Amino acid sequence: MPRTLTNTEVEDFRDRLCDVAAGLFETRGRDGFTMRELAAKLGVSAMTAYRYFRDKDAILAAIRARAFNRFAQALEEACARPGDAAARANAAGEAYIRFALDDPTSYKLMFDLSQDDANYPELAKAAERARHTMTRHVHPLVEQGLLAGDPDLIGHVFWAILHGALMLKFAGKLDSNFRAVLDEALRALVSGLQPRNAGR
Amino acid sequence: MPRTLTNTEVEDFRDRLCDVAAGLFETRGRDGFTMRELAAKLGVSAMTAYRYFRDKDAILAAIRARAFNRFAQALEEACARPGDAAARANAAGEAYIRFALDDPTSYKLMFDLSQDDANYPELAKAAERARHTMTRHVHPLVEQGLLAGDPDLIGHVFWAILHGALMLKFAGKLDSNFRAVLDEALRALVSGLQPRNAGR
DNA sequence: TTACTATTGTATACAATGTAAATATATGCT
DNA sequence: AGCATATATTTACATTGTATACAATAGTAA
């Protein structure tokens, strides 16, 4: 092995570490996750991870940042598909739900409240990218007169509904009718945001 | 001290322990909270708490159950105030928001995902009480023709919006316009749930 | 080649934590 | 008084994150 690791070698190891760590979060949960087991799964000693991350918390931040980026990318891809503005917005919403239901561990980690994004610039940037993605696709809807109001505000309204329904579901508060609640909420919101119904 | 503790003595100690523990959660956070510091603040030895709770997790469950009960009571009191059905529903919503903003630590703990309510009957019951309270005040609105649809479903829709907006705010995703997002969401929802706009 | 140095990885060590087990203390009953 | 038992504390231990000391390696300069 060379005397000094190249940037890509460092990044590769960080990637591999995050992949393994994400798997551990999945199987062991936030509390059961230990540095020693992570090291063992990576085939290195317990202290090796500390050459690549400041501490355990920094590893969590890196995993969360990666999740935010994958999430943003999934939404962006959904938005990029052919179709009119309404179809794209719909696709973005479906992609949001699919991401959260397919990978609930990542989704929960992303919105975990026990870590302050401000301490981790990479994480803050990834979260900001996701936030931007959440409001971006609303602008054409307003420009085309399909919805009325401030696009950023409306984007956050839809975000709040999706997030609220998902978090209640994860908390076991929406027994089996998660989809019914969400569909009714979206229908009512879209209706209430029609130009003829909006603004008082 | 008597040879055997009476039920009320046990309950009193549990209450005091939970109060102190809740304060510790507030100052130290979920991770910084330790059994030793809790014991010190209670003026007992480190192991005493284990005579009143199975383990640290059971203490967390008890705190969460108490928070759910205080929460449900706050909503119930708001609903019980004089006024028509719409005013009461409005008061319930405001009480919800006030509780969460006044005591964010309790609110976050209530909806923390790392503990399964099913393992703690007292907690499950308290959560169920809060859930029931969340949908109860919607029934008169539907009966009086102010909203159209399934009352339980609508109740959960409002719950999802409140919860989603609050959790996004706590996660730092709604900079300063939490109230604007929530107000617009509620306005649009109410509009979209009007009899003339509902049901397709 | 050989000695030196800087970088990476490991082994060891330690303090903090949850909690089990052993022990002490105190109280009601006979 | 003396015993049995419920309560509380003391001690002990395994597990954890991570600081520190050390080992191994490889590029550089002679």
Interface check B126 vs A, CB under 8 A: no
Residue B1 is predicted with a pLDDT of: 44
Residue A118 is predicted with a pLDDT of: 95
Q: Is the CB of B33 under 7 A from strand C?
A: yes
Q: How far apart are CA A89 and CA A70, in angstroms?
A: 18
Helix pair angle (A178-192, B151-170), 10° resolution = 80
Tens-place pLDDT, residues A104-116: 999 999 999 999 9
Q: Is the pLDDT of residue A2 over 60?
A: no
Q: Is the pLDDT of residue A187 over 60?
A: yes
Q: Is the pLDDT of residue A23 over 70?
A: yes
Interface check B122 vs A, CB under 8 A: no
pLDDT band at B199 (very low <50, low <70, confident <90, very high): low
Residues whose CB falls within 7 A of nucleic chain D? A 1-3, 33-37, 46-47, 50, 55-57; B 1, 3-5, 44-48, 51
Q: How far apart are CA A192 and CA A196, in angstroms?
A: 9
Interface check A28 vs B, CB under 8 A: no
Write the residue in A29, A149, A191 that is nearest to B184 by C-beta: A149
Whole-model pTM: value is: 0.95
Residue B11 is predicted with a pLDDT of: 94
pLDDT band at B6 (very low <50, low <70, confident <90, very high): confident
Write the residue in B163, B164, B180 that is nearest to A153 by C-beta: B180
The residue type at B35: M
Tens-place pLDDT, residues A111-164: 999 999 999 999 999 999 999 999 999 999 999 999 999 999 999 999 999 999
C-alpha triplet B61, B63, B69: angle, nearest 5°: 100
The residue type at B171: A
Q: How far apart are CA B139 and CA A194, in angstroms?
A: 26
Residues 140-159 of B with CB under 8 A from A: 149, 153-154, 156-157, 159
Residue A39 is predicted with a pLDDT of: 98
C-alpha triplet A27, A110, B95: angle, nearest 5°: 115
What's the 3-state SS for A157-183?
Answer: HHHHHHHHHHHHHHCCCCCCCHHHHHH
- A153 contacts B160? CB cut-off 8 A: no
The residue type at B34: T
Interface check B180 vs A, CB under 8 A: yes
DSSP assignment, residue A50?
A: G
**Cα–Cα distances in Å, from B23 out to B20, B29, B105, B123, B192?**
5, 9, 9, 19, 42
Residue A3 is predicted with a pLDDT of: 66
Helix pair angle (B56-79, B85-102), 10° resolution = 150
Q: Is the pLDDT of residue B44 over 50?
A: yes
Write the residue in B131, B153, B168 that is nearest to A159 by C-beta: B168
Higher pLDDT, A97 or A9: A97
